[in-house]
Amino acid sequence: MPNSTTQTNNSSPLSSWLTQLPKIELHLHLEGSLEPQMLFDLAVRNNVDLPYVNVQEVTKAFQFTQLQDFLDIYYQAAQVLVTEQDFYDLTWAYLLKCKEQNVLHVEPFFDPQTHTDRGVAFSTVINGIDQALTDGKEKLGISSELIMCFLRHLDEKSAFETLEQAMPFLAKLKGVGLDSSELGHPPEKFSRVFAKARELGLLTVAHAGEEGPAEFIWTAINDLKVSRVDHGVNAIQDPELITYLRQTQMPLTVCPLSNTKLKVFEHMQQHNILDLLALDICVTVNSDDPSYFGGYMTENFEALAQALDLNQTQAIKLVQNSITASFCDEQRKQELTKILNDYQ
Ligand code: HPA
Ligand SMILES: [Zn+2]
């Protein structure tokens, strides 16, 4: 156990302990796990023109410092995803990374409108992803639940059309979410489509309080009736909301490296995740868009260890929170809890 002055590095005891720590990921955009090499490989495979000629140029383009600049690049890169095999390969590569980092259960997001709006069939997207998740369960032992996100910069009509397209595939979906540009697009814009999704038996989550105000967290909870808030770090601006989150144990899926890359916090030392944990809020650690933000699950935990002296007790609590907040069944939750307890 490191003391408060211990600096971790990739070969420190804490670092290898964090790599082997059983983990759960609840906030991951599959399109955000598209690594530069796969981006180039798929561009060649599908004959898609990219504005970059090599990995160095991609790295240079990834120097964004706010959500919208990131999203512009993220949507452009997603254009290389065309066939069912592409969506399979993307998802499978993410699952292999999970295996490497002992991530045992995942609840990834995908953005169908990013693909259907350029002519890719909904079935192509979901079948490729679903087949990889099925194989991930069988061959890697990684359990999963899939969440379909609506793009909040698009209108309600487009979200309804997307839900309609999802109807034949409801058995492959656990829930719906809301992502993309937060400012100017409050959760209540999607109250009716979320109500319809709930009627269909889907759970709901929404990005809120990342760049947007605490008010958006309230409306995600009250209007969209979410089971978890994605990001939610701006809850700290509203003491009443903090009390509510503690009393209800409403989970927040926090993404440390994403928040510093997009300047929600200037430096990791200023990140509030451990303050929220100390306040007994159900915070969890997640990677968001790992190929854009500098790391997967282990790197996010490591960043907290380096900047905020995260200790083993806190890390275990963060994973336990993820198990509690997950959408898997009780039996799987018990299995995951046992694996975590055996690790301690
Ligand atoms: O961090 C995010 N915020 C909003 N939308 C997103 N889509 C992918 N990543 C994000
Ligand atoms: Zn996100």
Model pLDDT for residues 192-212, shown as the tens digit of each residue:
999 999 999 999 999 999 999
Sign of CA dihedral 309, 311, 314, 315: positive
pTM of the prediction? 0.96
Protein residue with least CA distance to atom 5, ligand 1? 180
* Ligand 1 neighbourhood includes 284 CB (under 6 angstroms): no
**Cα(107)–Cα(237) distance, integer angstroms:** 28
**Cα(272)–Cα(259) distance, integer angstroms:** 10
Q: What average pLDDT does range 180-191 have in this prediction?
A: 97
pLDDT of residue 59: 83
Three-state DSSP at 234 gives helix
**Cα(268)–Cα(306) distance, integer angstroms:** 9
Q: Residue 179 C-alpha to ligand 1 middle, in angstroms? A: 5
Q: What average pLDDT does range 239-249 have in this prediction?
A: 98
Residues with CB under 5 A from ligand 2 (ion): 288
Close Cβ partners of 295 (under 8 Å, ≥ 6 residues apart): 257, 287, 302, 303
**Cα(139)–Cα(130) distance, integer angstroms:** 14
Residue with the bigger pLDDT between 102 and 8: it is: 102
List of long-range contacts for 333-336, beta carbons under 8 Å, 24+ apart: 336/22, 336/24, 336/104, 336/105
pLDDT of residue 55: 85
Q: Considering the chain, what is the average pLDDT of its residues? A: 95
* Ligand 1 neighbourhood includes 234 CB (under 6 angstroms): no
How many angstroms separate the Cα of 3 from the Cα of each of 7, 121, 165, 270, 309?
Answer: 9, 53, 53, 20, 8
Give 6's pLDDT tier (boundaries 50, 70, 90).
very low
**Number of H helices and number of E strands within the chain?**
17, 10
Residue whose CB lies within 8 A of the most ligand 1 atoms, among 264, 288, 293, for a mutation test = 288
pLDDT of residue 8: 47
CA 11 to chain CA centroid, Å, is 27
* Ligand 1 neighbourhood includes 25 CB (under 6 angstroms): no
Q: Residue 13 C-alpha to ligand 1 middle, in angstroms? A: 33
Sign of CA dihedral 67, 212, 279, 272: positive
Q: Residue 295 C-alpha to ligand 1 middle, in angstroms? A: 15
Catalytic one among 145, 210, 211, 299?
210
Q: Residue 180 C-alpha to ligand 1 middle, in angstroms? A: 5
- State the alpha helices, DSSP H only, in 174-311: 191-199, 214-222, 239-248, 256-261, 273-278, 290-293, 297-308
* Ligand 1 neighbourhood includes 210 CB (under 6 angstroms): yes
Close Cβ partners of 185 (under 8 Å, ≥ 6 residues apart): 152, 153
Whether complex ipTM tops 0.90: yes
pLDDT of residue 10: 62
Contact 276, 250 (CB under 8 A): no
* Ligand 1 neighbourhood includes 299 CB (under 6 angstroms): no
Ligand nearest to the CA of 73: 1
pLDDT at 60 over 90: no
**Cα(99)–Cα(48) distance, integer angstroms:** 30
> Which fold, 13-343?
TIM Barrel (3.20.20)
**Cα(101)–Cα(21) distance, integer angstroms:** 8
**Cα(292)–Cα(304) distance, integer angstroms:** 18
pLDDT at 291 over 70: yes
Beta-ladder partners of 204: 176
- Which residue is it, tokens 């906030």? 27
Q: Residue 88 C-alpha to ligand 2 middle, in angstroms? A: 20
210 is catalytic: yes
Q: Say how many C-beta atoms besides its own lie within 10 A of residue 344's C-beta.
A: 8
pLDDT at 9 over 60: no
